[in-house]
């Protein structure tokens, strides 16, 4: 429900506008590198009119409609490179980087000296962590525009980032002490004492001299953060280590039973939007014995209060380990954190060792959660897929399903995750792409049956038949996933078996979308709640991205 409404949203498949632009039309008459097709003057004029409408939609931040109108213009005049380049830009705003790369490439085929098309394609390669191709395209822009100092700066920043990532890979191969062990050593050696000038909320201290968390501390911490203040490094480490103790013991697939009288709220991407998270918690309520919270990944990056968001989640996990759950998202990963801001923010606020600690603890986050209502459905529907015990249960994962059908819940439960980044090995990363091998954390649903390439340029897309087969095999009533903006905060698709929930309203201060969360009760009934964005202090998204790349990726 909206925060001014007293009733939840109706759970219909029309609850949200389509999340993406239409796929690129098949170029039956114009193939890459072939001659231009004949286009009438009337179609050229019609395309120009559609382009103007698309530009207006883009200016209004209506990116899906802009992409649709650019597509209609391309159908009228596929020879015009600016239409392809503009649609690429709209798709970049929708995070459809794979589609955008294809569109920019077509613009370049039509006009090999089109600097803006190289620039947009290079930006997409950067967003999908293909740094070498990004560097190549930025160099092409500079060959065409030698005096473009902005692109020169961005090229240098991308080269620096690429060298840094390659260096870190080499260091990892050589072996580095576990950051958890190293932080504990530093604490034992007296190298991370509490700053005596600190005047904020205080952790309790036991008779043995160990810190322990209380609800009063968490409430005080939230108010401290709200006022723009940071915790001392020692408290940051204690919170992260406190949460780590619980994450490390959990399996890669966590089972959460929902007893009679208990509810569980599933929260989608938050992406460092701390002030929206505070508003969201005012709607959901805090975790307690009768009300669980499950945050479904992508707590960090893009938004510029990612530290505050992740510390809040980890503090609740330390305080309420049986009522607070956190899944890993594709942004709880080193390569994404280096590109999208969390690494820069963590180091700026709390230092290099703190970032290393966060990065390692991210690898301990479970990959998925199985929510298991304990009571039979109030009304059994003909299409219900139930567990062997005749109950509904829901598979909650950040991305989605796999590149093959036969994966079972037990397979997921056994995935070795601790210390591993996505893209190394196993089911966590079951589909090969140039930059990584990814599945659970990256895949997206599609309307067409079967599997196909992702519009992102990373991962795969899975159709309604794939979802139904997997749910039937595993006795799962539905999949709840996040990973994608939905204009109304959520969308039900795949004949009701797949729901996307996204909880970062007005994403990166641009998208104009609502946020949402899903509530599940002990009978497996679901309610859908929507909320609007909340004002925040004047700090732009991705403010901590290094080398000026943040402003480029926000363009």
- Number of Cβ within a 10 Å radius of residue 456: 29
DSSP line for 405-462: S---HHHHHT---TT--TTSSSGGG-SB-SS-B-STTT-EE-SSSSEEE-TTSSSEEE
All residues at 6 or more sequence positions from 257 whose CB lies less than 8 Å from its CB, including other chains: 372, 374
- Number of Cβ within a 10 Å radius of residue 80: 21
Euclidean distance between CA atoms 125 and 123, whole angstroms: 5
3-class state of residue 321 by DSSP: coil
Euclidean distance between CA atoms 145 and 71, whole angstroms: 29
The pair of structure tokens assigned to 363 is 């690898």
Residue 145 CA to its chain's centroid (Å):
34
Q: Judge residue 177's burial from the number of C-beta atoms within 10 Å of its C-beta, 0-12 exposed, 13-18 middle, 19 or more buried.
A: exposed
Q: Which residue's structure tokens are 């980032």?
A: 161
The pair of structure tokens assigned to 200 is 């904020």
CB 298 within 8 A of CB 482: yes
**Interior/surface letters 477-503, b for 16+ CB within 10 angstroms, e for the rest:** bbbbbbbbbbbbbbbbbbebbbbbbbb
3-class state of residue 273 by DSSP: coil
CB 300 within 8 A of CB 332: yes
- Number of Cβ within a 10 Å radius of residue 306: 30
- Number of Cβ within a 10 Å radius of residue 307: 25
Helix H segments across 175-273?
A: 179-188, 215-226, 233-247
CB 309 within 8 A of CB 299: yes
- Cα angle 388, 294, 367 (rounded to 5 degrees) comes to 70
What are the residue numbers of the active site?
A: 331
CB 247 within 8 A of CB 369: no
3-class state of residue 237 by DSSP: helix
């Amino acid at each position: 429900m909206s925060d001014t409404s007293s009733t939840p949203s109706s759970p219909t498949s029309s609850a949200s506008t389509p999340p993406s632009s239409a796929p690129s039309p098949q170029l039956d008459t114009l193939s890459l590198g072939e001659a231009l097709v004949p286009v009438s003057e009337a179609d050229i004029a019609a395309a120009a009119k559609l382009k103007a409408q698309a530009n207006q939609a883009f200016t209004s931040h209506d990116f899906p409609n802009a992409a649709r109108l650019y597509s209609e213009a391309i159908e009228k005049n596929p020879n015009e490179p600016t239409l392809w380049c503009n649609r690429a830009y709209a798709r970049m705003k929708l995070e459809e980087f794979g589609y955008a790369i294809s569109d920019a490439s077509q613009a370049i085929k039509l006009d090999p000296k089109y600097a803006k098309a190289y620039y947009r394609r290079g930006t997409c390669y950067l967003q999908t962590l293909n740094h070498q191709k990004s560097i190549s395209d930025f160099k092409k822009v500079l060959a065409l525009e030698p005096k473009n100092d902005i692109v020169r700066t961005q090229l240098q920043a991308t080269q620096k980032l690429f060298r840094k990532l390659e260096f870190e890979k080499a260091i990892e191969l050589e072996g580095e002490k576990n950051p958890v062990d190293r932080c504990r050593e530093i604490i034992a050696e007296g190298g991370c004492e509490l700053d005596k000038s600190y005047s904020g909320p205080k952790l309790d201290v036991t008779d043995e001299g160990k810190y322990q968390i209380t609800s009063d501390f968490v409430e005080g911490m939230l108010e401290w953060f709200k006022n723009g203040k940071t915790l001392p490094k020692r408290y940051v480490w204690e919170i992260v280590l406190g949460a780590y103790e619980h994450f490390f013991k959990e399996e890669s697939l966590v089972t959460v039973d929902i007893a009679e009288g208990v509810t569980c709220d599933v929260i989608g991407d938050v992406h460092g939007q701390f002030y929206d998270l505070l508003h969201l918690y005012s709607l959901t309520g805090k975790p307690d014995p009768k009300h669980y919270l499950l945050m479904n990944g992508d707590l960090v990056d893009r938004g510029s209060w990612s530290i505050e968001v992740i510390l809040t989640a980890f503090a609740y996990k330390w305080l309420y380990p049986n009522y607070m759950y956190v899944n890993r998202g594709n942004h709880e990963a080193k390569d994404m954190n280096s590109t999208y801001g969390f690494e820069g923010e963590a180091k700026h606020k709390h230092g290099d060792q703190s970032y290393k600690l966060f990065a390692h603890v991210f690898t301990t986050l479970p990959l998925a959660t199985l929510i298991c209502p304990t009571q039979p459905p109030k009304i059994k529907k003909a299409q219900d897929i139930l567990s062997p015990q005749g109950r509904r249960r829901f598979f909650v994962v950040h991305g989605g399903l796999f590149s093959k059908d036969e994966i079972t819940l037990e397979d997921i439960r056994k995935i070795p995750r601790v210390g591993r980044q996505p893209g190394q090995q196993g089911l966590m990363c079951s589909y090969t792409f140039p930059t990584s091998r990814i599945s659970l954390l990256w895949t997206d649903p599609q309307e067409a049956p079967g599997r196909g390439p992702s519009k992102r340029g990373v991962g795969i897309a899975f159709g309604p038949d794939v979802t139904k087969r997997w749910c039937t095999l595993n006795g799962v009533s539905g999949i709840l996933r996040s990973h994608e903006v939905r204009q109304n905060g959520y969308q039900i698709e795949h004949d009701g078996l797949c729901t996307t929930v996204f909880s970062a309203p007005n994403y990166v201060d641009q998208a104009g979308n609502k946020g949402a969360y899903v509530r599940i009760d002990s009978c497996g009934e679901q309610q859908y709640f929507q909320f609007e964005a909340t004002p925040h202090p004047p700090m732009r998204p991705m403010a901590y991205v290094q080398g000026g790349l943040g402003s480029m990726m926000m363009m």
